[in-house]
Amino acid sequence: MDSEKRWSDLPDHIVINILSYLPLTDRCSASLTCKNWYECFDDPTLWRRFTFHFKNDQDTGQLQCLARHGRQLRVVKIYLNQQELVNRQNACEVLTGLARCSDRRLEELSVTFTTENPLFFQGLEFLSSLAELFGPPDPGTKMVSTLTKVDLSGLSVTYRDNLLYLLADNHPNLQVLNLQNTSLMCFINPECMHIVVKKCPKINSLSMHYRSASEELFAELSDQTRTPLNYLSLACNREEKYHKVIPADSWKSLVRRHKHLRVCMKFDHTIERHRILTILDPQIPLVELHMRTMTELHDEVSIVALYYHKTLEYLAIVTKGSDELKRVLLHLVEQSPRLHTLHCYCALDEVTIDRIRALRPQLKKYTLKTAEEFDLLVPTLTDLKECVESLSSKWLASGRARYRAPPP
């Protein structure tokens, strides 16, 4: 008769895999099961990836993982409720702690805010912590790896050029960069993005604001010596009215250089409607499109059907419903064989919805409503605060400020 099977007899790699799925508190508890599990708890393989969750002051204990296993961390994600000061402090301590590790193996980093910013919050402490992490290491730090993936799309603060210069100067092996945060203002100049891309020739996925793009940037991305660019996402907002449109020749050169390039375009509710048609060039290999506006979009949807019916896979629109929109939307769905996701936040009748389902039964995800959802168009509190902050800074810079606050 076989001897009795025990949990402690499990192979180490299976125990490590089990522990990797557990939250930190459960992982610590499980490590107390037996000596073997305790040893697996400290195995470097278990600590290659870790996600920090800072919701309240009780989550401060997660910082112990940084002190104990920071040298093993390669992929780090941080989620925090930035409304609370203690959560912001903890998240920044993770960033600075990673920067000061004696042996740095960090390769991937993402930071995500989970709530609205507190009033008058600018996130300067996060910018300072990121600058230390992106900047040159201390003389006593051994750089086993440099960053290859940075995702700051969930960090709703305004970035400046100097932060990206630090990233490009010290992490030339960067492959994935996402700067599409929820800030209404973009202060990353086209010259800066050009230099970043030039110093990081291995970038294969780039998500940025259209405001930061330029002909020079596209020329650099089209260079034959670069790693092939697989994904490019451009977010367009109200600032585009002051920005030069990327010409068709630049798009043509980029597409010729990168045969498998997939492009995503995002237009938010602040952009002037007429700019959408000037930015959408027929040369773009568009696979994903987001359009949020408070006006009718039937002309734009018609152009999308004309230009991108062979490539379009994902479409999300927020607009006003109309008979003309229903007609062009049906035409687009009929002409787009690759379309697998459709989110339409406007009023559609049941006949139109049934027709869409019949035309594209292979839709994996879709949102089709019979009532308007204009609440999706309302700017968030973060939008309004950043708008006020931007206007205030311009007013102060112009020298028109007369009032000086008394010292505290």
Domain ranges of the chain: 270-286+294-378
pLDDT given at position 386: 47
**Contact 205/175 with Cβ under 8 angstroms?**
yes
Which residue ranges of the chain lie beneath pLDDT 70?
1-8, 32, 184, 239-242, 372-408
pLDDT given at position 5: 64
Question: What's the pLDDT tens digit per position in 384-407?
Answer: 444 444 444 444 444 433 334 444
pLDDT given at position 408: 40
Q: How many Å apart are CA 105 and CA 100, to the nearest integer?
A: 11
Q: How many Å apart are CA 310 and CA 337, to the nearest integer?
A: 7
Phi and psi, residue 382, nearest 5°: -60, -45
pLDDT given at position 221: 97
Full-model pTM: 0.84
pLDDT given at position 3: 57
Compute CA distances 155 → 95, 260, 388, whole Å: 13, 29, 19
pLDDT given at position 56: 92
**Contact 81/112 with Cβ under 8 angstroms?**
no
pLDDT given at position 262: 98
CA triple 271-274-275, angle to 5 deg: 55
Q: Which of 84, 160, 93 is nearest to 133 (CA)?
A: 93
